[in-house]
Amino acid sequence: MKLFNREFSKISEAALVLGFFTLLSQVLGIFRDRFLAGHIGAGTTLDIYYAAFRIPDLLFTFGAALVSVSILMPFLKTQLGKSHKEGKRFLNEIFTVFFLSISILALLAWILMPHIVVQLFSGFSSEELDQTIILSRIMLLSPIILGVSNLFATITQSFKKFFVYAIAPVFYNIGIILGIVVLYPIFGIEGLGYGVILGALMHMGIQLPVVIGQGLRPSLTRNIDWSHVGVVVGHSLPRTITLSMSKIVFLVFVSIASTLASGTISVFNLSYNLQSVPLAIIGVSYSVAAFPVLVEYFNKENFEEFMAHVMVPIRQIVFWSLPVISLFVVLRAQIVRVILGTGNFDWSDTRLTAASLALFIISVIAQSIILLLIRAYYASGRTWKPLWITLGSSAVTIGCAYLFIYLYADIPGIQDFFESLLRIKGVSGSNVIMLSLAYSVGMFINLGLLLFVFKKDFKYVGGYGIKKSFWQSFSTSILMGVIAYSMLQLTDPLFSQETVFGVFGHGFVSGCVALIIGFFVLYFIRNEEIRLLIRALRKKIWKTSISSYEDM
């Protein structure tokens, strides 16, 4: 229980803690998707569930940006620096404004839901639209609850209580799983919505003891200093629009998918969720762990350390992402079959999801670096630049989605190329892969623009070893991919492809051999990231308190 109040000051160690529990959360997320696939299958019901999820998720992005960790933390630290009382007063003001605003927005969304759903999901039948409306209305509670939980997360991160922050998503997924396994058989599709609400309550509740322990439990107040709120809104508005654009892009993609074959929304979401596992473990962990330190160094005007704590995590993100991409592409069929290939999730669903995953996973490196760079902008108080870049790249991404779907349908050569490349010849609904491709193309465009502007805004020189680490990781990743593919062919007769254990063993052995050889290659060429990993694993990270860049 001491871990609930343990402070983690070093980025690499905080990232390991966050990474471990993010991995645990993602493992539960995998079970969540397996239960969804097995109990429901990639069909109409699951399409409705994912479609209904999008509207409350967008509302959460609009409303909860006010209580975002990356926006509130610098202000909270400033107020706490004055006195504990001022910090508590600031939290009460933000909590009051947020709670009233998000409640009003949720009520308006509840009233307008029939009109919104009809416009967004024109491919649904009248019965499917009715079910989507009911489920969306149930889920409208989640933005309110998760918004309060976000406010709690600002407190836990401000005091570097990364353990309790990291474990909250674990409980969120547990709640959703209970909804699938326990509530869905009782209440039908509405039970899935109840599970989301249960998960949100658990996400908030696990952080409450630490918040109370710090004496910062927020409450409603009539005494609001609107200058505080105005400054926060001024900073959060561009971030809100920035985040909202990514949600709007995803909503447009789901809307497009609703006009395609039944199950397309399910395949798109399930493959996206699978690529989100390495994204969360690598990209989210490093960006979350780096943010409080970036805020601290920027406030102290220590720009050398600020840049070091941006560039070194970028180097590490690049290094870890490339092997993951390589192995996911090679082992995609085994990954999907083991995780989702059960019950009502048939072989065609598996092949389409694996193909979509391959096109999603290539952008994990771009998505991870984007998360870190945007947090660097937020730590410095420059919130408008990411907005303009996101607006432009989002428009291009949506345009790519429509263009790719059109080209895939009208030019047989393009369809033949992708179907042959991804082994989905003759599978109905294969045009879903164009949505995944458009998303990845959009992410790389976003990254390119962001890097170009970042280099101008934060003048820096080399010396962080990014190029060296990239080439070491890239060449080793290619080798690992070749080894994994060769092992799949070599060990195919040894494993039954008719059982989940056979498929798992086939992919696991092939992946492990590739990883072991890749590890020793990097070790013998004295790769810095491998040395850091070995050094970190030798320590009891919860007893270490080092924060200087030289010790990273």
* CA atoms within a 13 Å half-sphere pointing along the CA-CB vector of 105: 22
Better pLDDT: 106 or 247: 106
Its pTM stands at 0.79
Structure tokens at 240: 């809100």
Domain boundaries, the chain: 44-237
Q: Which of 277-286, 349-358, 535-544 has the highest mean pLDDT?
A: 349-358
d(CA 360, CA 279): 11
pLDDT in tens, 487-511: 999 998 888 877 888 888 999 999 9
User: What would you report as the CA-atom Rg of the chain, rounded to the nearest whole angstrom?
Assistant: 23
Q: Is residue 112 over pLDDT 90?
A: yes
Sign of CA dihedral 15, 475, 480, 441: positive
More confident residue, 540 or 348: 348
Percentage of the chain exceeding pLDDT 90: 33
204-238 confidence digits (pLDDT tens): 988 888 888 778 788 888 888 887 778 777 777 77
State percent of the chain over pLDDT 70: 90
If you average pLDDT over residues 105-132, what whole number do you get? 92
247, pLDDT greater than 70:
yes
Closest CA to 251 of 366, 128, 120: 120
Look at residue 437 in the predicted model and tell me its pLDDT.
95
* Range name among 316-330, 405-419, 459-473, 530-544 with the lowest pLDDT average: 530-544
Residue 438's pLDDT band (cuts 50, 70, 90) = very high
> What digits encode the pLDDT tens for the residues 386-399?
888 988 999 999 99
**pLDDT of res. 551:** 34
Higher-confidence position of 283 and 185: 185
d(CA 230, CA 409) in angstroms, rounded, equals: 49
Lookup result for tokens 């890097």: 451
- Cβ pair 246, 58 in contact under 8 A: no
Amino acid at 432: V
Top-confidence residue, 80 or 393:
393
Residue 136 has pLDDT above 90, yes or no: yes
Q: How many CB atoms lie within 10 A of CB 370?
A: 25
Collect all residues with Cβ–Cβ distance below 8 Å to 61 and sequence separation of at least 6: 240, 243, 244, 247
pLDDT band at 245 (very low <50, low <70, confident <90, very high): confident
pLDDT at 134 over 90: yes
Mean pLDDT is lowest, of 85-89, 102-106, 175-179, 432-436, for 85-89
- Look at 536 and 24; give whichever has higher pLDDT: 24
CA 26 to chain centroid: 10
Q: Give me the chain's average pLDDT, please.
A: 83
